[in-house]
Structure 1
Amino acid sequence: MRRTVCGIVAAVGDIDVRLCREILNRIEHRGPDDTGEVHRGDVWLGHQRLSIMDVDGGHQPLAEPGGKSCLVANGEIYNHRQIRAELGPELFRTGSDSEAALHALLVDGPAGLTRLRGMFALAYIDEKGAFLAARDSLGVKPLYWARGNGRTLFASELRAFDPADRPLVESFPPGCCWSPQGGLVRFADAVPPRVRPARRAGKAGQWDEQLLKSVREVIVSAVEARMMSDVGIGVFLSGGLDSAIVTAVAAKYAERNRQPLPTFAVGLADSSDLAAARVVAEHLGTEHHEVVMTPEDAVATLPSAVRAIEHFDLHLVRSAVPNLLLAEYAAKRVRTVLTGEGADELFAGYPSYHVGPLLDPDALQAELVRDVEGLHHLNLQRCDRTTMAYGLEARVPFLDRDVIELALSIPPEHKMIGPGIEEKKLLRDAFSGWLPEEILRRGKLQFGHGSGAKDVLTAALMPTASDGAAGTGALDEEAAFYALWHAEFDGISPERALEWSA
C-alpha cells in the first residue's frame, strides 16, 4: 500500500461535503492507519492519520471533553510534554502530541500557537464555530489553500484540489495563521529577527572551544528531541557530513536507551554515497541497510518522483529519485526517519556560497537567511513528499528553532572558506572525534551527485548531449522534468510528456 504521514483537509464557507471527502481521499496515501471528519456549520475538517505517537488513542479530529472544539493536525509537537505540564496534565485524555496543540488553542486562542515547538500544519474550530488554520514557522509540514467560489479550501498536497480549483491554489505562508474574521496573521518568523545581522568577530578557523561546545550541544539536543516515537525510528544516511552527524548523535541516544538504530543509504553500486555511509555505519555500529540503485531503477522512478514532490526543479528531482527509492524500502522497517536537511543553509555548505558577491560577509549572511526562509519551497518540499509517499515521517533536527538561532548568530566570517579551511569547518570541528576523519573532512556532494542519480538521469534524457554543452543539457533536462510535472496535473501520460519535452 502507498502510504504517507498524516494529511489534513479543511473547508470554510460554502461547504460541499462530497467534494471535501474527495479531496481527503486524494491524500489517503499520507495516512493509511485511520481517517476522520467533522462538519459543523460552515466548517469541515478531515484527517488521514499515520500513527506514530499514542497509536491507539490519537484518532483525529481531536476534540476537547465537551466535543465542541476540534482540531486536525499534521506533524509533531516536540515540546508536548512541557505544554502538558504547563497547562495541567488533567486536561489531557490521550498521549498524542497533537493534543498539546488543541489545549494550547483552547487556553490561549490563536496566541497558543506561540507555545508550539515542532513541525505542523493544523486546522481548528472552537466551541463557537470559529475557524483557524496555521503552519509552522519554517513550513516543514506542507499546507496549501485556495480561496474562491464562496469558500476557502485547505489541503496538505497540491494534488488534493479539483482541477477547477488549482488555478487558485497557493502555498499557505509558514509562520502564519488565518481565520475568516482576522485574516492572515504572522505568529512566528523562520529566522528570529534578533539574530540578524550577525555580530562580527574574527575569521574562519579562529573560534574557541566554547563556540564549538555550543554548536555541538544545541544539535545534540535537537536530535534527541526528535527521537521520540512509539514506533520504529531510523536515519537517512547519505554518507555526507550532515546526515553522519545526525546518525552519530542518534546512535549515542539509541545505545543509552538500549534500542536499535536502523540507518538507510541509497546509490549506484559504485557510488561514493554508499561507500561513505558504510564507513559511518560500521564506525557507529548501526543496523545498516543499503538500497543499491540500478540505472533502470532511477529512470523508472523518475515520473513517480516528479509526481511525489509536485515540482520540476532540476536539483530537487535528481535527489528525489534516490530519496523515493530509499523511502519505499525504509517504510517497510520504520515509521520515522531523521535527515540532515538545513545544515548547508545554516553553515554555508554549498559551493555557491563561496563565490562572487557572497564573498562579502554581509551578503553571505543575507543569503543564508533568505535560503532558510525559502526552504519550504524547495528542499523541505522534496523531503516531505518523498518520505510521505510511503508512510514515513521525516524529521529535520538541524532546523530546530534553537539550532537556527545559534547558527545564524555566528559571525558569517566563521563560515567562509580559505586556504586550509573547507566549507562547514566550524561544524566539522564541533564534532571532531564523533566520526572517522575521512567522513569529517569529506567534501560536499549534492545527494543527486553522490548517489549517482544525476549522471544516470542526464544520460537517459540527453543521450546526444555533448560534454561541452552541459548548460544546454541541463536546460533540456529540466524541460523534461517540467513536462512530467505538467502531465501530472493535466492528465497527460508520462511517456507523451517526455516526447513533448523533446
Structure 2
Amino acid sequence: MCGIFGFLATQPRALSRSLDDLDAGLARIRHRGPDGMGKWVSANGQVGLGHVRLSIIDLETGAQPMHSDDGRYSIIYNGEIYNYIELRAELGEASFRTHSDTEVVLRAFQKWGPDCVSRLRGMFAIAIWDTATQQLFVSRDRFGIKPFYWTATDDGFYFASEIKALLPFLRDRAVNSAALTDYFTFQFCLGEKTLVESVWQLPAAHFAVVLAGHNPKPRRYWEVHYDVDYDHTERWFTQRLRELLEDSVRVHLRADVEVGSYVSGGVDSSLLAALAREVRPEGPFKAFNGRFMNGEEFDESRYAKALADERRMELHVTDIGEQDFVDHIAKVIWHLDQPTAGPGSFPQYMVSKRVGEHIKVVLGGQGGDEIFGGYARYLVAYFEQCIKGAIEGTLHNGNYVVTYESIIPNLQTLRQYKPMLREFWASGVFGERDERYWRLINRANTYGEIIAPEVLEQRAAFEEFKSIFWGSNVGKESYFDSMTHFDFKTLLPALLQVEDRMSMAHGVEARVPFLDHPLVEFAATIPADIKFRNGELKRLLKAVFSDHLPVAIRERKDKMGFPVPLNLWLRRPGPTRELIGDLFGSAAARSRPYLNSPVSIDAVLDSQSTYGRNLWALLSLELWHQQFID
C-alpha cells in the first residue's frame, strides 16, 4: 500500500520544474507512504513518476519507481497483488531481481500488455511509462479499492492517489455542480465525477493508454454478471462459498509484516477475523474495535470481545468521545479528500489511528453487505419478488419454487421495516422499479428549504441513476439484483473511499477479502431464495460459517453499522454544537452558492429532531470547501 503521483507533460520541459512538480504532489500524500519516497523524471523532463511507500512485501528491494531490465518500462503502483506468487512462477521465476509484487506487475505488462490486468487478483492503481511508444498505461482494480484521480491542464496530464495532490496544478478551483447535485441526492458522486471541477477518477475495472496532449479514454476490462444459477443445489452453493471465502482470506494474509483485523461486532468483519485466525492459529492476532462513550446503543465492543475470547485474539478497543469529534473532524475531512457517505468516517479514522500504533495491515469487511444481501431494502425487494411470483401461480426456477407458503415466514421480519415499506410502495406495489428505488435512496427532499433549488435539480442525476440501475449485466426480472448492482457501482466505492483514506491517514493498509473477484462473480449467481429465505439477511453466509461465530454475533438483530451519536451531541449545548456555530459563523460559510439564502444553523438545529445525517453533509462539505476550494 502506497501513494502515487505523476504526470505526462504536453511537451518536454526543464528537469528542475518536473522535479518541483513531483515534490509538490508527493508532499500532499506523504502520509500514505511513511517508509520511503522515490522519484523518476525522463531525460527530457516530460514524464515524472513519484511514489511514497508503505513497506508490506519485500521490505528491502521493493522500492519504486521500478524499471525494466532494458530501461523501456517504468512503473509506479499502489496496492497488493495477492496472486503474485503464482504469476511469478508463470512468468519464469529465475529472471526476477526482487521478491516484490511490483516487479510481477511490470513483467506481466511486458509479456501481456494491457491484458495483464485481467490476470491480476487484488487491489491496484497502476501507471507504466513506455519509452518506446511514448505512451502512459494506467489502470485501476475491478472494484475501485485503490484510488486513481486525474486532471488535464494546458501543461499536461496529472494523476494521483488523492485529489489533494492535484490541487496545485489546477488553474482555478471550483465545485463541480453536477457532482454537488449527486452529493445532496446520494451523499456520493456518480460515475467519474469528483466534487472538484476538472478532476476525475479513473473508473473501477478500467484501463487507459494516455498520449501527450490527449485525455484518457478508459476501456472496461471486467464486469460482474448477475446470471442466476438455478442448476445447482443449495448444498453446492454452501460448499463453493466456503472454498472461495477461505481461499480469499488465505491470500489476503500474504505479507512480510503482521496482519490484524477490524472487528466491528457484525457478521462480516467478525467472520473474516475468525477465518484469519484459523489460517494463522499460532502467535498473536490483533483485532480492533471502537465504541462511543454514550451508552450501549453506541457500543458494539461486547460482540467483539465475545469473538476475541473465543478465538484467542488480542482485542484493542478505542474509546471515542465528543471531544474527539471536535478535535479531529477537520483532519478527517482533509484525509477523506471529498465528503462522502455518512459520519462513519470519523470512528473509522479513530480506530485506524489505534491500528497504526500496532500494525501496518488490517482486514476489513467492506463488500459483504453488497454481495451477500446485508441491507434491509434487499429483503423488501426479495419479498416483493416472492409476492409477484405467488400471484402468478408460482415462480419456478429450477430447484427453487416460490409459493404463498414460502412468503409467510418473511412477514414477521418485514414488520420491522414499516417506514421503508411505506416509502417503497407509496405509488403501489409492482410500480416502476427504478422510480421506487430512486425515491427510497434520494435524500434531496430531506433538506427542506436549506439547499438552493437549482442544486437539487434532479433530471440529469435521475437519468444517470437509471443508466446504472438498468445495467446490461443485470437481468430485468430481478429487482434485488438491480438494487445490488446500483449499490455495488455507487455506494460501495464511497465506502471503499472511506476505508482507504481513513486507514492510509495513519499509514495502515486495509484489505477487503469479500472483494475477491472469483468470490464476487460467484455471489452474483446465487438465487435470492438462498440468500433471504425466512426473511434472514445474509442467510447463506451465516449458515455456512455458523461454527466460526459466537452465538451473540450469529443471532444478533441490532445491526448498528458503527453509529455516531451526532444527534445526541447536537441536541444539547456542548463542544459539537459550538463547533457547528463557529464553523457557520462567517458570512462566507452561510452564503455558499449551494445554500438557499444565508442560513441560520441555530434555526436548523432547533427545527429538526433528527438532523444528524443532513447536518453532517453540510458540516463536512463546509470543512472540505474551506480546505480544498477557498
- Maintained 8 Å contact 1:10/1:154: yes
% of aligned pairs identical?
30
- Maintained 8 Å contact 1:305/1:320: yes
2:268 aligned with 1:242: yes
Distance 1:454 1:424, change over 3 A: farther
* 2:198 corresponding residue in structure 1: 168
Distance 1:127 1:90, change over 3 A: farther
Deviations 1:304-330 (A, max 9, x none): 222221233352xx2111111111111
- Maintained 8 Å contact 1:319/1:453: no
* 2:156 corresponding residue in structure 1: 151
Alpha-carbon distance in structure 2 between the residues aligned to 1:332 and 1:322:
16
Once the 2 structures are TM-superposed, how far is the Cα of residue 441 of structure 1 from its aligned partner?
Answer: 1.7
**SS across alignment from 2:362:** strand
* 2:436 corresponding residue in structure 1: none
**SS across alignment from 1:282:** helix
Once the 2 structures are TM-superposed, how far is the Cα of residue 259 of structure 1 from its aligned partner?
Answer: 3.3
Match of 1:99 among 95, 103, 118: 103
Alpha-carbon distance in structure 2 between the residues aligned to 1:454 and 1:228:
38
Alpha-carbon distance in structure 1 between the residues aligned to 2:570 and 2:361:
31
Distance 1:261 1:464, change over 3 A: farther
Once the 2 structures are TM-superposed, how far is the Cα of residue 217 of structure 1 from its aligned partner?
Answer: 1.8
Q: Give, as a single letter, the amino acid of the residue that structure 1 aligns with 2:252.
A: R
Deviations 1:392-425 (A, max 9, x none): 000000010011011111012333364xx32111
- Maintained 8 Å contact 2:49/2:65: yes
Q: Give, as a single letter, the amino acid of the residue that structure 1 aligns with 2:62.
A: G
Once the 2 structures are TM-superposed, how far is the Cα of residue 146 of structure 1 from its aligned partner?
Answer: 0.3
Alpha-carbon distance in structure 2 between the residues aligned to 1:422 and 1:69:
52
Deviations 1:120-141 (A, max 9, x none): 0011112414321111111100
The total of aligned residue pairs comes to 472
2:291 aligned with 1:267: yes
Distance 1:464 1:167, change over 3 A: closer
2:351 aligned with 1:326: yes
* 2:506 corresponding residue in structure 1: 390
Distance 1:353 1:466, change over 3 A: farther
Once the 2 structures are TM-superposed, how far is the Cα of residue 331 of structure 1 from its aligned partner?
Answer: 0.6
Alpha-carbon distance in structure 1 between the residues aligned to 2:74 and 2:163:
24
* 2:41 corresponding residue in structure 1: 39
Alignment of 1:103-118 (within 5 A): 103-118=107-122
Distance 1:472 1:293, change over 3 A: closer
* 1:479 corresponding residue in structure 2: 618
Distance 1:212 1:465, change over 3 A: farther
Distance 1:259 1:67, change over 3 A: farther
* 1:189 corresponding residue in structure 2: 222
Alpha-carbon distance in structure 2 between the residues aligned to 1:107 and 1:422:
47
* 1:83 corresponding residue in structure 2: 87
Alpha-carbon distance in structure 1 between the residues aligned to 2:145 and 2:338:
16
2:318 aligned with 1:287: no
- Maintained 8 Å contact 1:113/1:187: no
Once the 2 structures are TM-superposed, how far is the Cα of residue 472 of structure 1 from its aligned partner?
Answer: 5.0
Once the 2 structures are TM-superposed, how far is the Cα of residue 187 of structure 1 from its aligned partner?
Answer: 4.6
* 2:228 corresponding residue in structure 1: 198
Match of 2:55 among 51, 56, 67: 51
Once the 2 structures are TM-superposed, how far is the Cα of residue 231 of structure 1 from its aligned partner?
Answer: 1.0
Distance 1:184 1:244, change over 3 A: same
**Which segment drifts farther, 329-338 or 170-179?**
170-179
* 1:142 corresponding residue in structure 2: 147
Segments of 5+ residues of structure 1 without an aligned counterpart are 492-502
Deviations 1:263-316 (A, max 9, x none): 01111244431111111111111111111112221332222222221233352x
Bigger Rg over Cα: 2
Deviations 1:458-494 (A, max 9, x none): 5435888789935655323321221112122135xxx
2:118 aligned with 1:122: no
Alpha-carbon distance in structure 1 between the residues aligned to 2:381 and 2:523:
23
Alpha-carbon distance in structure 1 between the residues aligned to 2:603 and 2:135:
59
Alpha-carbon distance in structure 2 between the residues aligned to 1:184 and 1:358:
41
Alpha-carbon distance in structure 2 between the residues aligned to 1:146 and 1:267:
39
* 1:500 corresponding residue in structure 2: none
* 1:469 corresponding residue in structure 2: 608
Once the 2 structures are TM-superposed, how far is the Cα of residue 56 of structure 1 from its aligned partner?
Answer: 0.7
Once the 2 structures are TM-superposed, how far is the Cα of residue 68 of structure 1 from its aligned partner?
Answer: 3.1
Alpha-carbon distance in structure 2 between the residues aligned to 1:358 and 1:19:
56
Alpha-carbon distance in structure 2 between the residues aligned to 1:358 and 1:310:
38
- Maintained 8 Å contact 1:299/1:457: no
Segments of 5+ residues of structure 2 without an aligned counterpart are 171-195, 386-476, 581-601
Q: Give, as a single letter, the amino acid of the residue that structure 1 aligns with 2:7.
A: A
Once the 2 structures are TM-superposed, how far is the Cα of residue 201 of structure 1 from its aligned partner?
Answer: 7.8
Deviations 1:224-263 (A, max 9, x none): 11001111210000010000100110011111xx332110
Deviations 1:166-220 (A, max 9, x none): 53111111111222359534252242x3xx2324589xxxx73332222122111
**SS across alignment from 1:168:** coil
Q: Give, as a single letter, the amino acid of the residue that structure 1 aligns with 2:31.
A: H
**SS across alignment from 1:448:** coil
- Maintained 8 Å contact 1:6/1:48: yes
Alpha-carbon distance in structure 2 between the residues aligned to 1:13 and 1:46:
14
Deviations 1:437-463 (A, max 9, x none): 2211223534332xx444555543588
2:341 aligned with 1:336: no
Q: TM-score, normalised by structure 1?
A: 0.88
- Maintained 8 Å contact 1:33/1:50: yes
